[in-house]
Amino acid sequence: MSEKITVGILKERDKSENRVSLVPRDVNLLIKMGLSVELENGAGEKAGFLNKDYENVGTKVSKKLSDKINIITSVNAFSSQGNSYVKNSLVISTTNLRNDNKIIEICKKNNLSVIAMEYVPRIARAQKLDALSSQASITGYKAGLIVANSLNKYIPLMMTAAGTLLPANVLVLGAGVAGLQAIATVKRLGADVTGYDIRLAAGEEIRSLGAKFISNEILQDSETDGDYAKEQSKKNQKSQLEFLKEYIIKADAVISTASIPGRPAPKLIEKKTIQLMKPGSVIVDVSAPLGGNCECTKLGEMVIINNIKIFGPSNLPSEMPYDASIVYSKNIFNLIELLLQDKKMEMNLHDEIIDAMLVIEKGKKRIRV
Ligand code: NAD
């Protein structure tokens, strides 16, 4: 009889990471599919899932993952804060492969294969395993809450016996998954919301959430075939900065989420524009990990300039680890289910999802990475 396929859940090494890659509910489903699951001691604790919750569904809890593991799951398996690897296994995780050459060395040394969650193709069939979307949605929601918590005014219109208070004016730059969720969140809180994106298709989505859409006429047609935005020419970038300046100055809060895959985040908020903003305004620069949309953003910090707060959050999904883990885990479960359709550990590279996401195979980088 062939050995059971064993999945190992890594304990995240990055101290600021609170999420876990598989939650007990999905572990239960994996076990029902005939797999075995091992958990590194305490891996789910910070997200609200205890060892006993995993044990109750049949997971073995170990101090260190055993060498029986075939598949390792993680949120960030190649953290700069280290990790331990089980030789010859398949790692399923988000990675920083585009910027971190050490990952290739680690994989070569340990003969690892890697399915990188950030390489998910943006096609309908892949939506259920799209961790970029499940986590970006949380990022947008949390960005809206940062605005609500740090503004020096109400978000909604308030008509009180002591006078009428106008709603906060919130500008959202970039209307992908995070931007649209940020719009929906501040809109629900009663803000007067304006959205901006260089993809005109985003206009319809912004309006469908009840926000105003602004667009710069010069920058028509900025969408690639894969639904992503195109990087702008120097001339267009200048025109964008000029166009956005008047809206940024009027806003009480700006949430910026603009990004282009594999490129530094486009600069949309200049220091000289910030100096013209109203004191007490807030900027939440969600693109901080990619270099930021704002010239003054500092990753992981809150900077104050002229009484304007500029937040550069580094990992917002980790600040809501329970639900972030539940949806990430479902993405991972759906991926494992797709991989093991024939109950074998062989990669079906004819499947465009697997072909796109398997970035390293047995220690060797595949061509598109
Ligand atoms: P992203 O994180 O790559 O970028 C965020 C937003 O920034 C995008 O809307 C982009 O157009 C915008 N942007 C880039 N440069 C800009 C600039 N200079 N000025 C203003 N805005 C700028 O986006 P995402 O959330 O990953 O979504 C990317 C695309 O994928 C979207 O079209 C989205 O609808 C699509 N998508 C498809 C699926 C699917 O079908 N499975 C799932 C999720 C997202």
**Catalytic site includes residue 19:** no
**Catalytic site includes residue 14:** no
Domains in the chain: ranges and CATH = 6-119+321-365 (3.40.50.720), 137-319 (3.40.50.720)
Mutual angle of helices 131-150 and 321-339, in 10-degree steps:
170
Which protein residue has the closest C-alpha to ligand 1 atom 20?
197
In this predicted structure, what is the pLDDT of residue 225? Answer: 61
Residue type at position 218: I
- What CA–CA distance (Å, rounded) separates 113 from 299? 31
Q: Identify which of 138, 198, 231 to mutate to test ligand 1's pocket (most ligand atoms within 8 A of the CB).
A: 198
Chain centroid to Cα 46, Å, comes to 19
Sign of the Cα torsion 199, 201, 204, 210 reads negative
Q: How far is the CA of 3 from the centre of ligand 1 (A)?
A: 43
**Catalytic site includes residue 127:** yes
In this predicted structure, what is the pLDDT of residue 368? Answer: 66
pLDDT digits (tens, 9 = 90+) for 223-259: 666 667 777 788 888 889 999 999 999 999 999 999 9
CB atoms within 10 A of CB 7: 28
Q: Residue 364 is encoded by which pair of tokens?
A: 């060797």
- What CA–CA distance (Å, rounded) separates 313 from 325? 19
Q: Identify which of 255, 259, 334 to mutate to test ligand 1's pocket (most ligand atoms within 8 A of the CB).
A: 259
CB atoms within 10 A of CB 347: 16
Q: Identify which of 183, 215, 228 to mutate to test ligand 1's pocket (most ligand atoms within 8 A of the CB).
A: 228
Is residue 140 in contact with ligand 1, taking CB distance under 6 Å? no
Is residue 12 in contact with ligand 1, taking CB distance under 6 Å? no
Q: Cα torsion for 84, 18, 326, 24, to the nearest 10°?
A: 60
In this predicted structure, what is the pLDDT of residue 220? Answer: 59
In this predicted structure, what is the pLDDT of residue 1? Answer: 43
Using the 8-state DSSP alphabet, how is residue 124 labeled?
Answer: G
* pTM as predicted: 0.94
| Look-up of token digits 């595949």 | 366
**Stretches in the chain below the pLDDT threshold 70:** 1-2, 217-227, 367-369
Is residue 198 in contact with ligand 1, taking CB distance under 6 Å? yes
Residue 120 half-sphere exposure, CB side, CA atoms within 13 Å? 22
- What CA–CA distance (Å, rounded) separates 258 from 202? 12
In this predicted structure, what is the pLDDT of residue 349? Answer: 86
Is residue 256 in contact with ligand 1, taking CB distance under 6 Å? no
Which protein residue has the closest C-alpha to ligand 1 atom 9?
176
